[in-house]
Amino acid sequence: MRLDRPLDAGDEFDDESPLPGTGWTVYDTTRSNLPSDVNTIHTKDAVRVRDGNLEIRTARHCLTGDEIASAENESPDGAVCPEGTRTMYTSGRINTDFLYDAPFEMEVRARMSDDMIDGMYFAAWLLNDQPYCTAPGVEKSQMTEIDTIEVLSTRAKTTNTTHVTCVKRENATGTRRDGHSMPGQIAGAWNTYRMTWDGYAVRYYFNDQLVPSDRGQTPETTGKTPGMDQDDFRSAMNDHPYQVIIDSIVFPDTVTWIPPAKHDRPFPVRVDRVDYLRMKPIDDIHPRGAIGRTWKNTDWLGAPLSAEEDAGPVGARKQEFEHGTVYWSSATGAHPVKGEVRKAYDRLDGPDGFLGLPISGENPLAKNGGASQRFEGGQIHWSRDTGAHGTRGAIQRHWRSQGWENGWLGYPTSEETRTDAGAATQTFQGGTLYWTAKTGVTTTRGAIATRHRTHGGPDGWLGLPLADEGRLRKNGGASQRFEGGQIHWSRDTGAHATRGAIQCHWRSQGWENGRLGYPTSEETPVAGGGMRQTFEGGTLVWQPGRGVRVEN
C-alpha cells in the first residue's frame, strides 16, 4: 500500500469541514437531457461530513423539460411528482484515487437510512484501475470489483460480491463473480462490514461473522470458486491498484432483478451514514517456492492460514495451513507436519527443540494404525493407544535394535526425561529404557519394572539398572541388578528387592537356589532398629551390632 498518499489508512470522517477531506473526489453528474435509463443524479450537495459521519442524502425531484435537478424542484416531503414531470433522484458518490495495493483489509461501519424503500441501494466498494467490458472497445479485462458493502433497503441482509475479470457480452457486464449474503437488520441499523483479501482468498464479515456463500460453496472466494486458475485470479486481484467508492443510488425502472422505486408512492428524504472507513495492508499468504510446491502436491493441507515466516533455525522457513504446517530449509527440503505428530512436535519446541526440522513426511505404520515421522534429531511415533512421542540418541538406537514398535518394547509412551543423577530414561509399552555413558542402555520391564518404580525408580534407593534382566532356572524366575541392590521375581513370589546385609547373607546361602528360596516381601523395619525380610524358606532379621539371623 502506498503510505505516502492521503487516505492511506482510510478516513474517520472527523473533519471540521462539511465536505470530505483531501483525497476524496465528489461526483457531480448534474446536466440536462438525461437519458431515459438514468434515474439518479450525483451532486456535491448530497454529500457532507457532520458529527463524525459521512452523510449521503437521497431526495426525489420533479423535473420539467430540460430542467436540472436543484433545491427548487425537490419534491416536498418526497411527495409523488405531478403529472407532466419526470421523477428523478439526487444522491451522492465519492471516491479516492487508486491508492491501495493488494493484499489488504477494508472495514466500514455504516448505517443505511430508515424504512425499507424499493430501489434504494447503498455501497462501499473497491475497484481496480482496469475497465469494465461494457466500455467501448474492451473485449477482455482484468477488472476487479470487491463489494465490501452492497445493501438494498428492501432486503434484510448484507450482500457481498467479488467480480474478477470480464469478457464482452451482449447487454451484460460479463464478469466472473462469487456472491455471499447473510440475514440481518440493514435499514436503520449501524453495522460493521469487513473484507479481507490475503493473497489466497477473499472473505467477507458482517458484524464480525463470516458471510457464507450464496451458492453453498465455501465462504472463501478463491480462484476455484468462480472457475478460474488461481494464478490468473491472483494476477487480477494483485496486479493493479484500487480505489474506494462510496455511493447511494435509486435504481432506474429498467432494472429487473430487484423492485425499482415506485414513483406513485412518497419517497421521503433518506440519509445513509458512514462512521469510518479503514484500510490496512496485510501479508500475502499465498504459498510460494518450495513450500508452495509441497502445498500444491498435498491435498490434505487445506487453505493457508498465515504468511511464510522464519522457523527458528537460521534460514529455515515455515507456513501454517488448515491441517498442518510445512517447514523448509535448504538442507532438509520442505515437509509437512500434521495432526498428533504436529502437537507432539510443538510440545517439544518444534524446530528449536532437539528434533530440529522434519526430513520426511509422515509415514503410516501397520501396527495399531500408527504413524512416524523423521526429524534431524530423532523421530516421532504415534498410535491410538499411546499418543505421539519423540525418541532420539542411544535410547532410540536400542529401541530400533529391538524392532521398533514391532518389537517387545512396542510404541513409546512418554518423552525422554532426565533423572536426578543425569541419566536419560523413556517408557515404552513393554518396558523402560535407561541410558548413562557408563552403563549404556539398560531396560526394565514387567513386574521388576513395577517394583523398581515403587521404590522411587532411578531416583530411589535402588538407583539405575546396571544390566538388563537376567533369566533364572528356578521356577522360571528373573533378576536384575541395580546400583543399590537387586530385584528377584518368580511366578510364585512376585518381584521383591534386596540390599545390604540381608542380601549379603541370602547370597551366602546360595541366592534363590539355597534353602531360603526367593524373597516373598520387601524389607520392613523392626523395633529397636534394624530390618526384616521374608523368604520362601524363612525370615532374615538384621540389627545393628548383632548382624543377620534366621527366623524360621
Burial (CB < 10 A; 0-12, 13-18, 19+), residue 99, is: buried
pLDDT over 70, % of the chain: 99
The yes-or-no verdict on residue 2 having pLDDT over 70 is no
Cα–Cα distances (Å) from 52 to 108, 141, 179, 276, in that order, read 14, 38, 31, 8
Q: How far apart are CA 162 and CA 147, in angstroms?
A: 6
Mean pLDDT in residue range 295-321 = 95
Sign of CA dihedral 448, 449, 450, 451: positive
pLDDT band at 441 (very low <50, low <70, confident <90, very high): very high
The three three-digit cell numbers of residue 106, written as one number = 477494508
Give a three-class secondary structure readout of 32-48: CCCCCCCCEEECHHHEE
How confident is the model over 220-229, as pLDDT tens digits? 999 999 999 9
The yes-or-no verdict on residue 3 having pLDDT over 60 is no
Average pLDDT score over the chain:
94
DSSP H helical ranges for 239-323: 289-296
pLDDT band at 333 (very low <50, low <70, confident <90, very high): very high
How confident is the model over 117-136, as pLDDT tens digits? 899 999 999 999 999 999 99
How confident is the model over 49-90, as pLDDT tens digits? 999 999 999 999 999 988 899 999 999 999 999 999 999 999
Cα–Cα distances (Å) from 64 to 58, 74, 290, in that order, read 19, 12, 68
Q: In this structure, are residues 482 and 503 in contact, taking their beta carbons and an 8 Å threshold? A: no
Give a three-class secondary structure readout of 428-444: ECCEEEEEECCCEEEEE
Which of 37 and 277 is assigned the larger pLDDT?
277
pLDDT at 483: 95
